[in-house]
Structure 1
Amino acid sequence: MENDTLKNIWSIQGKDFTPSSAKDIINKAKKQRQGQYIGIGVMGITVLILVAYSIYFATTFWNNFTLGLVLMISSLLFRIVLEVITVYKKENRLIEMDSKSYHSYLKRHYRLRLIINYYITPLCFIIYAYGFYLLLPFFKREFSNGFYNYLLVSGILSILVVLGIVINSVVKERRFFKELSNH
């Protein structure tokens, strides 16, 4: 989809929506979409690592180790599916709407994103952290103290870094929603 095509379509819509405001919305939506793609990629790589780890180390019977891995993988997969759906739905809607309708749609879209960010994402995050917590006794038993401490510290730091990224993303989306609401 080309930005020039959108500018031309939106410029015919009326005087309420100037090409510069259309360009501004396109650029912000594009930047936000790139952030979503990066998030999907990071979560996807993490899922692949966890699945590979599961295949290599998971036992054939059900225990807390397996439960922890399943919780971590399923929470990430759920978030990936949500992100893919919202990106796909937003892009499809852009093609079929005029500028005013799309602006209204974006407001609804970002209200939904706020619900996802404030309720679903923290729940997925808690499930992921709990899954990691379930793995710790197995790590302590199977690995040396030094490697266990490394896994513990790096795991906690990774969770904190991801939490920081999520909070930053939520703040950006909230700011974008406020800007849309003010137009």
Structure 2
Amino acid sequence: MFFSAILAAVLPIAALGAEITIQVGPNNTNTYSPTNVTAAAGDVLTFEFVSGNHTVTQSSFKTPCDELTFANGSTGLDSGFLPANSSTTTMPTYKVLVNDTTPLWFYCRHPGHCQQGMVFAVNPTSNETFAEFQAAAKASNETSTSTSTTQSSGSTTATSSSASATSTTSKSNAGATRLGSAGAMLSAIGVVAAWVL
């Protein structure tokens, strides 16, 4: 019975795919490392904020330095500003569950960072490459990040946490899902399954 309870509690977590860690601001730079990844549905992207004051904000390939806004007015994922100090041991993180293999595009909305090339891509294609996305960001003269981009594909989920706070805001409309809500749901399913077993 005890083993069944443990198995039921862990089973929902095991259903998630691989965890891919992306550092935000490594070595006090305005970069993501790595700059792009290939992820499968079910993979979890863990953005680890290691220095500076940055965001992970969803954009589109065509407008890399503008927050993604859908036709219904909702916006894509945005971690909000998560300041980090490289001398601390606990870094803020922002987790994103990838729902499908649709390309996803992100940037830092701190003024000037996107224009310096601080962008990130998930599943870029040969038709829409990371190099082209970053070049478009660097060519952007805008310092505002409020211009809208309309899109209507995919779905997204994410979770942010820091040493002092956890955010559970949920968005599910852009290729990934915020894990704050999804993680709580998976834990609840595990507890219920443990009682049934």
Q: Which TM-score applies when normalising by structure 1?
A: 0.30
Query: Of Structure 1 and Structure 2, which has the larger fraction of its residues in helix?
Result: 1
Over alpha carbons, which structure has the higher Rg? 1
Query: Of Structure 1 and Structure 2, which has the larger fraction of its residues in strand?
Result: 2
